[in-house]
Amino acid sequence: MKDTFKHQGMRNKLADTVAAKGIEDKKVVDAIRSIPRHLFMDSSFEDHAYQDKPFPIAAEQTISQPYTVAFQTELLDVLPGHKVLEIGTGSGYQTAVLLHLKSKVYTVERQLELFKKTNIFFKKMGYRPKKLVFGDGYKGLPEHAPFDRIIVTAGAPEVPKKLLSQLKIGGKMVIPVGEEDQVMMRITRNSETEFKRETFGNFRFVPLLEDKN
Ligand code: SAH
């Protein structure tokens, strides 16, 4: 599959839509304008790629709605060089947005099928996260901690304590919290023991699933 002028035209519109819905960070809007979202989806669904909607990918998972990706990314406040932990690689679209912002991305996916597929896709496209790990995001990546930023792209029934402990002091985590639907939460680590919590509206994500072994 290619990236054509037609795709670029549709992507410009999508980026304008996301900005019109309230995303102010120009670098985030620029990421939406630049990244060929249709290549992250099955080729037969190309036509759906530039609507501002979530869409099914493999293993009963979804590629998040572009507005939601932009919203979470804006809240995350990523700077070049930041070490970012992403939980829920999925299609890799959010990963690509984080790479566009020149951060160092460590991303974790628990569905083997998606992990393999996205691994091959990243190589083909030349996307280079620092690490793409098959595993349970509830545990984070203690061997690579601490992180400047942590982003969770699945709905967590509660905030995983192990992730909080892997945040740098001054670091931020953006995570949708709740069972049926979720409230978007941003947690800033002010000291070893103090965490500031802010909430930003309701969303609906696929669940963050815990591996019990
Ligand atoms: N960022 C992705 C969103 C995919 S949906 C994208 O833009 O495509 C959420 C993803 O989280 C799914 O792929 C799901 O398999 C994954 N997930 C759910 N629970 C997880 C866990 N405990 N650890 C890692 N990934 C998890």
Please list the rounded mean pLDDT of every run of 10 residues in the chain (213 residues).
Answer: 91 97 98 96 87 88 94 98 98 98 98 96 97 97 98 97 98 96 98 97 94 70
Q: Does 7 map to a domain?
A: no
Predicted pLDDT at 213 = 61
The owner of tokens 């990243």 is: 122
Q: Does 19 map to a domain?
A: no
The span from the CA of 173 to the CA of 114, in Å, is 24
Contact 111, 175 (CB under 8 A): no
Count of positions (residues) in the chain: 213
The atom number, within ligand 1, closest to the CA of 69 reads 7
> What CATH number did the domain enclosing 84 receive?
3.40.50.150
Catalytic (active-site) positions: 64
Q: Does 45 map to a domain?
A: no
Residue 23: count other Cβ atoms within 10 Å of its Cβ: 20
Predicted pLDDT at 100 = 98
The atom number, within ligand 1, closest to the CA of 210 reads 22
Q: Does 20 map to a domain?
A: no
The span from the CA of 157 to the CA of 137, in Å, is 13
Q: Does 88 map to a domain?
A: yes
Angle, to 10 degrees, between the axis of helix 66-76 and the axis of helix 26-34?
140
Residues with a CB atom less than 6 Å from ligand 1:
61-64, 87-88, 90-91, 93-94, 108-111, 114, 136-138, 153-154, 206, 208-210
Q: Does 12 map to a domain?
A: no
Pocket test for ligand 1, best of 110, 122, 136, 166 (most atoms within 8 A of CB): 110
Number of domains comprising the chain: 1
Q: Which domain holds residue 159?
A: 54-203
Q: Does 5 map to a domain?
A: no
Q: Which residue, 87, 93, 4, 100, is CA-closest to 41?
A: 93
Contact 118, 139 (CB under 8 A): no
**The residue type at 88:** G
Q: Does 44 map to a domain?
A: no
Element spanning 121, H or E: helix 112-125
